[in-house]
Structures are given as C-alpha cells and as structure tokens.
Amino acid sequence: MTSSRCARPVANLAIASALTMLLGACGGGFNLSPSSPAPPEVAVEPEVPATIRAEDLVGKWGLAAYNNPNDRPRTEKMALAQCKQPYVIGAGTSGGVIMHLADQATPQELRLKGSAGGKNYIGPAGPPGGEQDREVVSFDGRVLITRFVDKDAATRYQTMVYVRCGPRA
C-alpha cells in the first residue's frame, strides 16, 4: 500500500472521531454514573391564603367601571344605581366564588388567592397573578374594586367597581 492510500482511511477515521466528540459535547451526552448530581428542583412558591374570604364576596352587587381614578366616586354611585339589575357573586362548591372570567359568557368557580407581596387575586386555579386573574385593588366589605391582570382585558373592562346591594350577606 502506498502512503496516500493509507492516509485517506486514517484521515476519515480522525474526522469521524472528531465529529463524534463534537456531537457528544453538543448534546451533553448521557452520564449514567450513579454519582452524577440530580437535576435542580424547581422551587414552588407556597400557597398564600387570600386576606379576603369567599363568603365576604357572595351576594348581589351593582357594577360599573372607570378608567380615570378621579372618576371613582361617581362610578361608585353609578354602580349602586345598577342594583336594580345586580351582578350576583355566588358561592362555589369548592370554597371559591362564582364569577365570570374576561370574555366568558358562563360564570365559573374562581379561587381567591393571596400572594407573597400581599396582593389578593380572583381567578382560576394556578399561581396568583395569572393572565386570567383579576387583582383586588381594594375591598372594604361594601365596595370591591378589581382590575384584570391581562393588559388587553384590563383596557377593555377598565377598573371594575362592585358596590354591595343592601346589607352584607
């Protein structure tokens, strides 16, 4: 065999070996040794109870909305006038409240969720402050003010003011 005929298979073998090492490095390979560290665990934030109870929200409410915070007093009066056709917040079977999500015609059971930052949210199961949640801006037992977390829904529905119709439930 001539040296050029021998050099070709050796060069091919060298290229194949180099590619194998590169591919192994890119993919991370599999390390089946028992001493390999476990993958890091994802920290799950503990559930924080809301400072508002579901039973505090059950009842009939007048509902109106505003964009400008200066309009809040006028909007509260408009919401109270809506008690002729109240928005009803019902009690859920699992301890939540029956309300509408943004753009949903059928109300469903939503949870009251607290957050580590001290805010309260009303929304479907999941972490507080999710896209379908509404943040409770304030609640004094008579007036509930909420705003949707989702920016598009918040723009369309504005800051919502619920005024209790009649005595507390």
Mean pLDDT of the region 7-27:
51
> Structure pTM?
0.72
* Count of the separate structural domains present in the chain: 1
pLDDT at 9: 54
CA geometry: angle at 81 spanning 150 and 166, to 5°? Answer: 95
Q: Which domain holds residue 105?
A: 54-164
Cα 22 to chain centroid, rounded = 41
> How far apart, in whole angstroms, are the C-alpha atoms of residue 143 and residue 159?
13
Asked if the model's pLDDT at residue 128 lies above 70, the reply is yes
Closest CA to 146 of 84, 99, 78, 94: 99
Rg (CA), the chain: 29
Gap between the Cα atoms of 146 and 158, Å rounded = 9
Q: What is the pLDDT of residue 166?
A: 85
169, 58 Cβ separation under 8 angstroms: yes
Average pLDDT for 52-67 = 97
The predicted structure's pLDDT at residue 47 = 75
d(CA 127, CA 73): 32
Write down the pLDDT at residue 22.
46
Task: Supply 17's token pair.
Answer: 């070996």
Residue 19, pLDDT score:
46
Return the higher-pLDDT residue of 6 and 143.
143
Residue-wise DSSP of 62-96: EEEEESSGGGHHHHHHHHHHGGGSPEEEEEPTTSS
* 97/20: higher pLDDT: 97
The verdict on residue 132 lying in a domain is yes
What is the mean predicted confidence (pLDDT) over 60-68?
97
CB 58, CB 89: distance < 8 Å: yes
> With 50 as the cut, is the pLDDT of residue 30 above it?
no
